[in-house]
């Protein structure tokens, strides 16, 4: 197809598809929308002259915005509004620091739309967390990353919108605050609350969103780095919580914290989770969460990774096997041996010794995984240890007499 033909077809496409130039022209039918603003705070007056916005969507894509202003009775109206199958509406306004909206698909009910607004307060006493759940659905041994999904059910049982205030010097923040481990990353937050922003704070994040009377949901996900199969951090509850649950994928490890009690296992999808629960947490409560037994790479991989670090002193190998291996390595590196006729210095001895130490670590790991019988394991370990201590290829005369036990 020539370039000129392509240009002509493109122009024709614009001419016969007016929606590309005028998004509001998608709909072939129009309707009118009447509504009224109501002040939901008892004894408060109906606001006059409040700007009201109507956003029109067609199959999820916004195709137009209309504006109106409320009258002395709180009434407002929109004329010539697109109205047909696939059309959706969001009617919204802002008042006293709060954001209020009404969402509905076409057709709207015949009675006028009612848009409630509320007076505001910076006192969060009426705000309460109904349910707070942490779902740990994965931990990767190779990367040392734990995946967490948090679900928070929030309720404002008062008759005023809670509007967080910027904290003064030395004052506590009145924002909605959520705790994260210090190693958390890839944080993603979703909420049914409107307006506000998300701020990074010392040990987590905060939301400045106003909270009108009613129930709302907040969901966030993140990844956290753990070390040695463990992760610890403090989960705080600035607004308290009626129920706090930690769901840990079965077989992934264990979790503990003061006040947490194990309940019936939970099933999400086709996966089963260990469930820990605490109830009736007061505002300002804290729980020190301790995750342990998280997946780790095999011992030989851990040793290989640690041995590449700049400082050997930073290496920490847990368990009795770790202590024995550390003693073996220290003895091999710190003991000076004079070459003799019976024990010549082999070329590349340091490299060969490092390979023998790694082989011992791999053998111990296989034994712990029950891949090697005890007798075969002890025999191979004595042989490898003798080679590491006395030089490759030497007989294990004295080394075989140490009566060494398994890890």
pLDDT score recorded for residue 301 = 55
What is the mean pLDDT for each group of 10 consecutive residues in the chain (407 residues)?
Answer: 39 37 53 95 94 95 96 95 94 94 92 96 92 93 92 95 70 75 93 88 88 95 93 94 95 94 90 95 95 82 49 36 42 40 43 64 68 76 68 42 39
Computed over its alpha carbons, how large is the radius of gyration of the chain? Answer: 33
Which of 206, 141, 143, 154 is closest to 180 using CA atoms?
206
Q: Does the model's pTM come out above 0.75?
A: no
Which of 96, 87, 95, 93 is closest to 114 using CA atoms?
93
Query: Which residue spans within 180-337 are E strands per DSSP?
Result: 184-191, 198-201, 204-207, 214-225, 231-237, 241-249, 254-256, 261-262, 266-268, 271-281, 285-292
Q: Which long-range contacts (CB under 8 A, 24 or more apart) does 227-231 make?
A: 227/144, 228/296, 228/316, 228/318, 229/253, 229/292, 229/293, 229/294, 229/295, 229/296, 230/290, 230/291, 230/292, 230/294, 231/146, 231/181, 231/183, 231/290, 231/291, 231/294
pLDDT score recorded for residue 213 = 96
pLDDT score recorded for residue 388 = 60
């Amino acid at each position: 197809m020539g370039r000129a033909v392509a240009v002509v077809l493109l122009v024709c496409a614009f001419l016969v598809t007016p929606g590309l130039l005028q998004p509001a022209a998608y709909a072939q039918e129009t309707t009118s929308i009447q509504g009224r603003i109501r002040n939901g705070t008892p004894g408060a007056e109906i606001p006059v002259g409040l700007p009201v916005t109507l956003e029109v969507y067609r199959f999820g894509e916004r195709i137009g915005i209309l504006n109106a202003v409320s009258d002395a009775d709180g009434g407002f109206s929109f004329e010539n509004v697109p109205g047909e199958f696939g059309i959706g509406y969001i009617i919204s306004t802002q008042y006293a620091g709060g954001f209020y909206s009404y969402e509905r698909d076409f057709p709207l009910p015949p009675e006028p739309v009612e848009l409630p607004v509320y007076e505001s307060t910076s006192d969060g006493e009426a705000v309460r967390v109904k349910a707070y759940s942490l779902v740990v659905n994965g931990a990767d041994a190779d990367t040392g990353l734990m995946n967490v999904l948090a679900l928070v059910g929030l309720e404002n049982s008062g008759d005023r919108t809670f509007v967080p205030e910027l904290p003064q010097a030395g004052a506590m923040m009145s924002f909605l605050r959520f705790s994260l481990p210090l190693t958390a990353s890839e944080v993603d937050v979703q909420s049914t609350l409107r307006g506000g922003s998300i701020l990074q704070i010392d040990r987590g994040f905060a939301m400045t969103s106003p909270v009108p009377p009613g129930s709302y949901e907040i969901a966030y996900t993140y990844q956290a780095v753990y070390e040695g199969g463990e992760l610890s951090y403090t989960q705080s509850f600035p607004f308290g919580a009626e129920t706090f649950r930690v769901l840990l994928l079965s077989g992934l490890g264990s979790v503990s914290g003061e006040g947490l009690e194990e309940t019936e296992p939970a099933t999400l999808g086709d996966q089963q989770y260990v469930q820990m629960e605490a109830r009736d947490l007061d505002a300002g409560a804290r729980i020190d969460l301790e995750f342990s037994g998280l997946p780790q790479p095999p011992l030989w991989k851990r040793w290989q990774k640690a041995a590449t670090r700049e400082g050997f002193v930073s290496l920490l190998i847990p368990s009795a096997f770790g202590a024995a291996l550390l003693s073996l390595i220290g003895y091999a590196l710190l003991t000076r041996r004079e070459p003799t006729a019976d024990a010549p210095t082999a070329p590349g001895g340091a490299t060969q010794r490092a390979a023998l130490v790694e082989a011992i670590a791999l053998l111990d790991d296989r034994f712990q995984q029950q891949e090697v019988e005890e007798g075969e394991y002890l025999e191979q370990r004595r042989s490898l240890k003798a080679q590491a201590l006395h030089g490759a290829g030497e007989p294990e005369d004295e080394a075989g007499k140490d009566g060494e036990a398994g890890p």
